[in-house]
Amino acid sequence: MVIFFFPLQMIVHKSLVSSNVEERVDAARHLGALLCGDPMVVFALKERLADPEDRVVYEASKALILLGNYTLLYISVLMTCCTYFA
């Protein structure tokens, strides 16, 4: 688990908050694909829901749903963005 934790920290603390939009989108997508429900990951993804870029918000909400957070807010964000990016 230690080997896995450091790359995860790098994604959360560097890629997910990058100034590059594509890097933030990819980071959110990868965090959802890793299926790691660590509180640090969930908190970082929730912060990205306030991102000015819609693609980042879409991927963050999709990742949160993949991690088992089925709140109405995430589902509504995903459905709203679905018309643009699906």
Q: Is this prediction's pTM over 0.85? A: no
pLDDT single digits (tens) 28-50: 999 999 888 889 999 999 999 89
Q: How far is 31 from 44, CA to CA, in rounded Å?
A: 10
pLDDT at 43: 93
Please check whether residue 60 is in contact with residue 45, taking contact to mean a CB–CB distance below 8 angstroms. yes
Give the residue extent of every domain in the chain.
Answer: 2-85
Superfamily, domain 2-85? Leucine-rich Repeat Variant (1.25.10.10)
